[in-house]
Amino acid sequence: MRPNLSCILLWSGVLIAISSAAPAGLSSEGESDLALRDIDGHIGLSTRDLYDVPYEYLERDLVDYGDGLYQRELYDGGEVLYERDGKDESELVRRGGKVKKGNAKQKQKHPETEKGCKEKETKGNEKVIECSSYEEAAMEACKFVNGGSEKINPAKLDLYQGRLKASPGHGQIVGLGYKSAAGNVVPFIRLDMDSTGKAVHFNAVQLSDSSKKLAAIIRDTVPKSVKSRERFYKERLKKLKIRSARGIWNWWSTGNSNHF
């Protein structure tokens, strides 16, 4: 029969909270799922895990298994390892018997963000892609502008200011284009922000064929809150203020910000 305790026990630097009934909002098959923390305050295991290991360890030490330091607690017939490398200190790995070097634990895999850009969809003449960074999105947008037979002449570029009054970019430098005979700047590339799924993104049109369009989404801005997204957008616009049209094009087209 499992113990039915309603007290707080402190053993060897480990604070253990145990209760016979789950608190409100938690579900653990009649048992509480309160977290245990080690002496440094790191979550180790839950009260349910407590039933699977002995309460008292025979020995505690630090062991280097080649991929980081572990706090090891030896029990009768087994041991418990607490990761100590600072990356995921809440992970608990239990092994029966001896632990072989290099096989101490199975690391939790954190998939890396996919680098570069990938196509998301195509709507009519607009191609939508998602990019892993601001620089990647900018370079893809510039590449798209030059995708036809005509290429951008940086010396002829002018700064384009946002015209949408509802946008944080209104009146700010948001893009680049050529000046028309009427004196208006017709943009080929601009940095925009919306709340329709594109978040912060580059809009671009091909210089040779303005009917061909591209939206290059900065992937990390999609899940951001409205305030965080707007802050990200404004920070990027501030960096455009101090640059010439040629400098912005050279930055966006190469990903190198050392252009003014």
Pairwise CA distance, residues 37 & 70, whole Å: 15
Would residue 259 show up in a list of annotated catalytic residues for this protein? no
DSSP class of residue 155 equals: G
Pairwise CA distance, residues 83 & 24, whole Å: 31
Q: 94 is written with which tokens?
A: 């239990």
Q: At what angle do helices 245-254 and 134-145 cross, to 10 degrees?
A: 110
CB 47 within 8 A of CB 67: no
Q: Among residues 156, 140, 144, 145, which one has the least CA distance to residue 218?
A: 140
Out of 42, 110, 170, 201, pick the active-site residue: 201
The two beta strands, 213-218 and 126-131, are parallel
Q: Identify any residues that bridge with 191 across adjacent strands, giving them in sequence order.
A: 202
Burial annotation 229-239 (CB, 10 A radius, 16+ → b, else e):
bbebbeebbee
Q: What is the dihedral of CA 260, 218, 125, 171, to 10 degrees?
A: -50
Q: Identify any residues that bridge with 214 across adjacent strands, giving them in sequence order.
A: 127, 204
* Residues belonging to the active site: 201
